[in-house]
Amino acid sequence: MKRVVVALGGNAILESDPTAAAQQKIVQETAEALADLLTDEMELVIVHGNGPQVGNVVLQQAEADSEKNPAMPLDTCVAMTEGSIGYWLANSLTNVLEKRKITRNVAAIMTQVEVSPNDEGFTHPSKPIGPFLTESEAQELMKTTDAVYLEDAGRGFRKVVPSPEPVKIKESETIKLLLENGVITVACGGGGIPVIRSGSELKGTEAVIDKDLAAAKLAELIEADTLIILTGVANVFVHYNQPNQKALETVSISDIETYIEEGQFAPGSMLPKVEAAVKFVKRSPANKAVITSLENLVKERIGTVVEQKEPVSID
């Protein structure tokens, strides 16, 4: 695992208390765990989500909107949370490494992720952001605004926004240079700032890119060896929450694609993680992706491993 991209969810940073102090405390604990994984040879990139955080920023912008203090567009709100969470992660990791007397620099880089203007994500909003609401609260908001709210994996209703797939990452070569010089890099925060190419210019667009798909694209572009997608459970499951529930350990591309076709993974929850893992592993026979919780990764150093090759059965 020399060059590793770790994708950390925004929900893992914001639990019940949305204050900066509470989120920084969780980030500090995450930094300690990531430092446990670090080796001298490892080139590490951390990609973080921002779903709850960017949703809260959008709400704050709307609440304070006025002629003299106009609300910022969604791409700028993504940039705000990329900056704030990137700062928390870089600061916490720096403090942890210095305490452990590990000589490694940490940098958070604002990342522009190019998307296609023709992506169907713009016509079918699907990315959940902001707080969880009851069905009645969501219905009331949809009567008074043009926002769309959908149920998010049985946990409540959340606002959904366009989520186009990443095509290119403007700063990928810069990130490679940082890694080659031993810098632990925080990048593609919140999936990166969504931009559309118009001639020779990149222009921001109103969207939030799925951070797992952005992590997979970044891992591809920087030629990473391993993509680690962190979630709240130790393994990916099929027949989840049913009597025949089964944890996946090592799974081939062909098997996991069959599970996707069967609808085994919840949209907006585990499905994007599995799809991101498949996209990355398909790029090279040597690639592997791991989906697990941070706690399990630190303790067991494994979770659900997605590989190209078929598992070999041993009689």
Q: Active-site positions?
A: 10-11, 127, 211, 273
Nearest to 97 by CA among 106, 85, 88: 106
CA atoms within 13 A on the CB side of 207: 32
Burial class (CB in 10 A: 0-12, 13-18, 19+), 273: buried
Number of Cβ within 10 Å of residue 65's Cβ equals 11
198 Cβ contact list (under 8 Å, min separation 6): none
Residue linked to tokens 């186009």: 164
Please name the residues in contact with 242: beta carbons below 8 A apart, sequence gap of 6 or more: none
CA 110 to chain centre: 15
Tell which phi-psi region holds residue 148, choosing left (phi > 0), alpha (psi between -120 and 50) or beta: beta
Quickly tell me which residue has 């880089």 as its tokens: 109
